């Protein structure tokens, strides 16, 4: 089966996984949580995904988190999905999600991936409270640029936190030497990246997130604000909450585009 486009120059032994949630509050007794794990390979291909009900969700500030058992099962499932698609286990696994990693989640995921040499746990969110304006130097003076900050700029706050612009000015695809800004208006907000566990550098993490922001096959846009790992996991979880017969099984993502 053909794929629309792929990435290059990422580590071929790395698997990327996103965790998404869907909350069904129509139940009389309790919330039903549908969790989605979606696996991507080093070329950015969305290989397999699996929907499953979260047995014992833990809510913090009204946002769901996994219990140790659910996190452990997620870790095992991540490795299994990659093997299903490639016939070999990954040497590195990177997990993306939009809520922070609790101690139970970290311990559960790491125990489930105990045979994987390298694991990175990354929290990704849009930082709506920050805006940066681009400046140009003209005749020894700084002037406000008519275009926003360039896509791809990363500001390191410390060794485990950074601000990444996945949405910003790009080289024009219409005119040589020109600039484009998708949407054409507004001041873009950066992503805040927090590394909760893992040895990989912030530069490596940011480069991978920037690459995966171009891998949403359900859009013809030049890029998405969020990496496909998170975008697709949340979208599929939301749709999957209405399709309970798909729960617990893995599927090729291309069948659901």
User: Is the pLDDT assigned to residue 68 strictly greater than 60?
Assistant: yes
Integer Rg of the chain from CA = 19
More confident residue, 120 or 241: 120
Whole-number pLDDT of residue 116 = 95
Chain segment 52-61, per-residue pLDDT in tens: 777 777 888 8
Instruction: Give the residue extent of every domain in the chain.
Output: 14-123+194-256
Question: What value does the mean pLDDT take over residues 1-11?
Answer: 69
* Alpha-carbon dihedral angle through residues 80, 81, 82, 84, given to the nearest 10 degrees: 90
Please tell me what DSSP assigns to residue 53.
E
Confidence of residue 179 (pLDDT cuts 50, 70, 90): confident
pLDDT at 93 over 50: yes
Query: Could you tell me how far CA 61 lies from the centroid of its own chain?
Result: 21
Using alpha carbons, select from 41, 135, 22 the residue that is nearest to residue 85: 41
Q: How confident is the model at residue 135 (pLDDT cuts 50, 70, 90)?
A: confident
- The answer to whether 46 and 217 have CB atoms below 8 angstroms apart is yes
pLDDT band at 162 (very low <50, low <70, confident <90, very high): very high
What average pLDDT is seen over the chain?
A: 81
**What is the rounded distance in angstroms from the CA atom of residue 24 to the CA atom of residue 53?**
11
Pair 57, 67: CB distance under 8 Å: yes
d(CA 106, CA 121): 8
Report strand pairing: 161-164 vs 191-197: antiparallel
Quick: pLDDT tens for 31-48: 556 566 667 776 666 666
Q: Is the pLDDT of residue 248 over 60?
A: no
- Maximum CA extent, the chain: 68
Q: Give the global pTM.
A: 0.85
**Predicted pLDDT at 48:** 66
Q: Is pLDDT at 196 greater than 60 in this prediction? A: yes
pLDDT tier for residue 28 given thresholds of 50, 70 and 90: very low
Q: Is the distance from CB of 188 to CB of 222 less than 8 angstroms?
A: no
Please tell me the predicted confidence (pLDDT) of residue 35.
65
Fold of 14-123+194-256: Nucleotidyltransferase; domain 5 (3.30.420)
136, 165, 175, 225 from 162: Cα distances, Å = 24, 10, 32, 16
Sign of CA pseudo-dihedral 173, 174, 176, 180: negative
What confidence score (pLDDT) does residue 120 get? 98
Closest C-alpha to 48, from 77, 91, 90: 77
Share of the chain above pLDDT 90, in %: 30
């Amino acid at each position: 089966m053909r794929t629309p486009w792929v990435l290059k120059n990422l580590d071929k032994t790395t698997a990327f996984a996103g965790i998404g949630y869907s909350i069904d509050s129509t139940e009389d007794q309790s919330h039903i949580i549908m969790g989605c794990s979606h696996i991507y390979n080093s070329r950015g291909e969305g290989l397999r995904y699996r929907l499953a009900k979260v047995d014992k969700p833990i809510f913090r500030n009204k946002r769901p988190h996994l219990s140790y058992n659910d996190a452990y099962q997620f870790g095992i499932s991540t490795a299994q999905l990659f093997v299903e698609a490639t016939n070999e286990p990954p040497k590195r696994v990177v997990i993306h999600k939009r809520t922070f990693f609790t101690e139970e989640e970290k311990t559960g995921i790491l125990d489930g991936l105990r045979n994987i040499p390298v694991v990175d746990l990354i929290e990704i969110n849009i930082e709506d409270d920050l805006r940066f304006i681009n400046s140009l130097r003209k005749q020894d003076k700084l002037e406000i640029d008519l275009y926003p900050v360039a896509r791809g700029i990363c500001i390191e706050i410390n060794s485990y936190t950074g601000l990444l612009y996945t949405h910003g000015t790009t080289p024009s695809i219409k005119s040589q030497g020109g600039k484009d800004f998708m949407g054409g208006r507004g001041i873009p907000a950066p992503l805040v990246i927090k590394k909760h566990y893992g040895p990989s550098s912030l530069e490596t993490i940011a480069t991978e997130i920037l690459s995966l922001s171009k891998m949403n096959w359900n859009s013809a846009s030049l890029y998405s604000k969020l990496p496909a790992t998170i975008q697709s996991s949340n979208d599929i979880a939301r749709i999957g909450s209405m399709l309970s017969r798909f729960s617990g099984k893995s599927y090729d993502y291309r069948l659901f585009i």
